[in-house]
Amino acid sequence: MLAARAVEDALAQATVEDFSAHRAAKMKRGKGIAGALYSMTPPGFPNPCAVNMQMREDGSVVVQIGITEMGQGSQTVLTQMTAEALAVPFDQVTVYPADTGMTPYDFGTVSSRGTFVGGNALLKAAAQVKDVLFDAASAKLGVSKEDLTLEAGFVRDIHDPERRMAIGEAARFAHFALKKLAMGSAYYYPKSSAAGENMQGEVIAAFYYHATVAEVEVDTETGLAEVTKLYAVVDCGKAVNPSLVEGQVQGGALQAVGWALREDGHPGLIDSNGPPQNYNPEFMPVDLETYAIATSMDMPEIHAGYVEVHDPEGPFGAKAAGEISANSGAPAVFNAIYDAVGIRLVDMPATPEKILWALQHKAQAEQSTGRALESGGR
């Protein structure tokens, strides 16, 4: 069935016959849209994160936190937020992530909570470090703590920018003159309570949102559907690192294409009642070599973006960008297939077999309806 195009190409080369008009007639295009919302904390139970932070005498900062870096960029983002909170350069911050032998407690890097929960814990610890720096600068400069601010490597008087003290100098002065260490230890519990009657209450601390528009082409002769363009946007609150946000959106979009069109596990693993109707028994993936995930060669034209609707509970207004980026793509593709050929598929993936079967049933139903109308007309 999928060899039809190859046969056409071979015939075209052999006979120099142009099959473009035939192809155009059988190709149908459609657009679909879908949206999603997702929680940034596990619902209904406590999920805190703790952090230890120390500023050394040269102004560099060491952070210990239980958020796990698994490629999503959390270590970079946590480093950036620490640097921003303490007005030190990025390369002056070292974050030690997730080691149960040395890092404090974290619930787990799940449910898109890393930036939101970990960032809030960081800001609480940074506030303690900042307070010690202000003690030092106040004593050294003779300025009230209320009139001090951090700015680009210095503690300075908000009324007189020339009255300032280097942050590293403030850390040393606190250590040796005031006998105070610029350290902070804090934890953050996001709002999360057990659901009350009718599922009411603060079960989830916050939500973030995502939308996808998909453009597809469906070959009505072979049943092959291809995604030609994807427009995907996430509401991440504040893009702490715009490149990482766009990378998450692009990666989620490609994963969604895989779910929508090709990824299908062995039915015995997911359905104890047997394989679904029209399942191809020849396709029985048992490992990642035989499981048809989408690769860069399958990537359509992707337009990734983000909007920044700050969350009042988020660190610097940030929310999340990861998991949800894969959630609205597949339904958008399915809606686009419906727009193209008028069939509503409800189980993933939309394989050529499923599409052809649905098109055949649609044609049969239309023929039956037509005959019934003719009989009624007589």
Residues involved in catalysis = 323
Buried b (16+ CB within 10 A) or exposed e, 338-364: bbbbebebeebbbbbebbbbbbeeeee
Whole-number Å distance between alpha carbons of 266 and 296 = 24
* DSSP result, 255-277: HHHHHHHT----HHHH-TT-PPT
Task: Output the furthest CA–CA distance in the chain (Å, rounded).
Answer: 105
CB 236 within 8 A of CB 306: yes
Scanning 115-213, the segments in alpha helix (DSSP H) are 119-141, 167-176
Decide: 129 and 88 in contact? Cβ < 8 Å: no
For residue 132, give the 3-state DSSP assignment.
Answer: helix
Q: Could you check whether the bond before residue 285 is cis, i.e. omega within 30 degrees of 0? A: no
Rounded Cα distance between 201 and 342, Å, is 41
